[in-house]
Amino acid sequence: MNSRRWFWATLGLVAGGALFSASFSYAFDIFGIYRDAHGRSLPVYGLHRSKADDRYAKFLLNQHYVPENFSGLIIGSSGLANWQLPDMGELHYYTEATPASNATEQGIFVRQALKRGHFQGALIELFPAMTGEHRVYEGIETEKSSDAFATINSVGSEIDMLLVKFHLQKNLYFPDGARDLMVSSRVTPDLPIPLAPIDPVALASQRELVKELEADGVRVVYVVTPIYEPVYLKHVGEMQTYLNTVLAALPPAPVLNLNDDQHAAFSSVVDNFDDDLHLSLAGAARIEARLNTELPPLLEQAKLIENPSASRP
């Protein structure tokens, strides 16, 4: 084959591959970008290559899928990442929380959803991971809608989708954004809590995110992640100092502290945890059942904080 034929053959192969990839992306539309996403069930795919895969997918899913199907948001790091809250009246929650995430990164996801949706409630995690740094993984802040179309990341996610469909690979994510953390059970009462110093940029990001949510009419409730009680009691002073500092910097909102005395019967049970800081799937299911009772009055309280006139006769 001479050089000209080789050139045209190579060009044709590349063009054909690109056309196939583009057609595949459009046909399956695993991020809900190209057609109506309402009523669809779209989990994250592509979790098995790097920490950026799930972030890349959530960035795109927040553009149409999340605002068209959900009315509540769970915002945080790994402590809330396996939470699947039951529907509470008109509230249908999507779990934005992602392992190793922080307030800056979570804000990037949530702002995509706020562009097109109106949310009634948001749970925001209060834990050192959210304010320990403001790094975002692999340029997530520069992603755009066109990245769902025949890019390396989209092709990788589509391949993973096929592997899941043919039962060759287990997907760890659920259509409501929650995931199986796959943490091997190793509760260690002597393990110290990673109380990282507060990053002022991350704390400012969390404050601005809360302000944006409340300005959009979203009722905010702060959630203090449950910690295995023997570990928590060793660090209760440090945790309280952290909470006092963070709450003084954030807009006022109701606080659900899952480490207080009211929840000791839950946090003292080792089977509720995969490790000292992360709930097992069974533990997450138990806390979700409790929240079905505890959250509604807190959301009403949040409504009154945002609109004090609502409490007047």
In a domain, 144, yes or no: no
37 found inside a domain: no
Select the highest-mean-pLDDT range: 134-138, 206-210, 258-262, 301-305. 206-210
Q: What is the pLDDT of residues 62-80, one digit of tens each?
A: 999 999 999 999 999 999 9
In this prediction, residues 35-43 reach a mean pLDDT of 89
Element (H, E) at 123: strand 121-126
The pLDDT score that the predictor gives to residue 152 is 61
> How many domains are there within the chain?
1
The verdict on residue 40 lying in a domain is no
3-state secondary structure of 220: strand
Residue 291 has pLDDT above 70, yes or no: yes
Judged against a pLDDT cut of 60, whether residue 58 lies above it is answered with yes
Pairing relation of β-strands 93-95 and 72-75?
parallel
We report the CATH number of the domain holding residue 269 as 3.40.50.1110
Dihedral of CA atoms 262, 266, 267, 269 in degrees, nearest 10, equals 150
Helix, strand and coil content of the chain, in percent to the nearest 5, comes to 50, 10, 40
List Cα–Cα distances, 226 to 33, 143, 166, in angstroms: 36, 33, 37
The C-alpha atoms of residue 78 and residue 212 are separated, in whole angstroms, by 23
Tell me if 39 is assigned to some domain: no
Vertex 281: Cα angle to 37 and 75 (nearest 5): 50
Calculate the dihedral angle through the C-alpha atoms of 10, 14, 19, 21, rounding to the nearest 10 degrees: 140
pLDDT at 146 over 60: no
pLDDT at 307 over 90: no
In a domain, 212, yes or no: yes
Range(s) of the domain holding residue 304: 48-136+173-311
> What's the pLDDT score for residue 313?
37
**202-240 pLDDT tens trace:** 999 999 999 999 999 999 999 999 999 998 988 899 899
Question: Which amino acid is residue 244, in one-letter code?
Answer: N
pLDDT tens digit string along 155-211? 667 677 777 777 777 888 899 999 888 766 667 666 566 677 899 999 999 999 999
Range in 26-35, 85-94, 242-251 the model is least confident about? 26-35
Q: Is 270 within the bounds of a domain? A: yes
Question: Domain for residue 152, yes or no?
Answer: no
For the full predicted model, state whether its pTM sits above 0.85.
Answer: yes
Extract the tokens encoding 114. Answer: 């706020």
Q: Is residue 163 part of a domain?
A: no
How many whole angstroms separate alpha carbon 283 and alpha carbon 77?
Answer: 17
